[in-house]
Structure 1
Amino acid sequence: MPRQGVTLATALSRGLRRRCPCCGEASAFRGYLKVVEVCPVCQTPLSLYPTDDGPAYITMLLVGHLVVAPTFLIPGVWNAPLQILAPTLVGLIGALTLAALPFVKGGFLSLLWYLGMKRAR
């Protein structure tokens, strides 16, 4: 179901770059995670798309699989002292989560835009 001649791949690509999924010209965010009310270029009302908790869950799922699963596969981890292992893992998980969250939210916003899933007024 292409929207305004935009394919899903194009919309997701724009969203993952934190751009407006409709035009790809302007930023879809005015801060770290705050979605702009309306795209300044194409006037798409981006704030109508509910990007509340979905991006956080997806980010936790991704980071968990990228950090925790490989950690258990590394033999040296089982012998590492907890005083070193715990802060290292918490720091790594925190840093990756904070780095990935805005991009995942952009992709989530673009998916909602593509599917036309607006917030009820």
Structure 2
Amino acid sequence: MAEEITAFSEPAPRDVAQAIRRGAFGKCPACGSGRLYGRYLKVVDACAACGEELHHHRADDAPPYFTILIAGHFIVAGVMMVEDYFHPDYWVHIAMWFPLTIGLCLWILPRIKGALVGLQWALRMHGFGGRDALDPARPAPEPTAN
């Protein structure tokens, strides 16, 4: 009795760097022309240009974490340099660094989130497999006897 094994072909790989770059610039990771966001951080359900579904993303807590990590390095370095060279009063530090911190975080956050959505799309995570992904709900083929 011989068994026939049916193999599924792997979907074509997606360019990870290109998808991250497109997402970071607020564009659809699939086509690069549609908008990723409908509002400030609200990812559109589907790309208006190519129709790729984008609602699958699971960015969650990673974008704020990376935003704070990146912005914190710039702000702390700036605070230390200003304090070392100019020795301003504390109220000057607060007046200068508080708005800069808020502004930098608000500027970085959508770029980090877009890059993360692009990464998830490129790696086919969380349902981004699309039509070329293997369907986990489909039952495995039955072995055939020859």
Q: TM class, shorter-chain normalised?
A: 0.7 to 0.9
Tell me if the contact between 2:59 and 2:117 (Cα under 8 Å) persists in the aligned partners: yes
Cross-structure match for 2:85: 76
In the TM superposition, residue 10 of structure 1 has moved relative to its aligned partner by 0.8
Structure 2 gaps of 5+ residues are: 1-10, 128-146
Alpha-carbon displacement from aligned partner over 1:57-99 (angstroms, at most 9, x marks no partner): 111111001111242244135x221111112111111011111
Task: Write out the 4+ residue segments of structure 1 that deviate beyond 3 Å after TM superposition.
Answer: 3-6
> How many residue pairs get matched?
116
Cross-structure match for 1:6: 14
The answer to which structure has the higher helix fraction is 1
User: TM-score, length-normalised on structure 1?
Assistant: 0.85
Identity, % of aligned positions: 32
In the TM superposition, residue 100 of structure 1 has moved relative to its aligned partner by 1.3
Q: Distance in 1 between matches of 2:73 and 2:12?
A: 35
Larger gyration radius, structure 1 or structure 2: 2
Tell me if the contact between 2:79 and 2:93 (Cα under 8 Å) persists in the aligned partners: no
- Residue 52 of structure 1 pairs with residue 53 of structure 2: no
Q: Distance in 2 between matches of 1:62 and 1:8?
A: 21
Task: Please show how residues 106-121 of structure 1 align to structure 2 within 5 Å.
Answer: 106-118=114-126
Cross-structure match for 2:105: 97
Structure 1 gaps of 5+ residues are: none
The root-mean-square deviation of aligned C-alpha atoms, in Å, is 1.8
> Counterpart of 2:55 in 1: which secondary structure?
helix
Cross-structure match for 1:34: 42
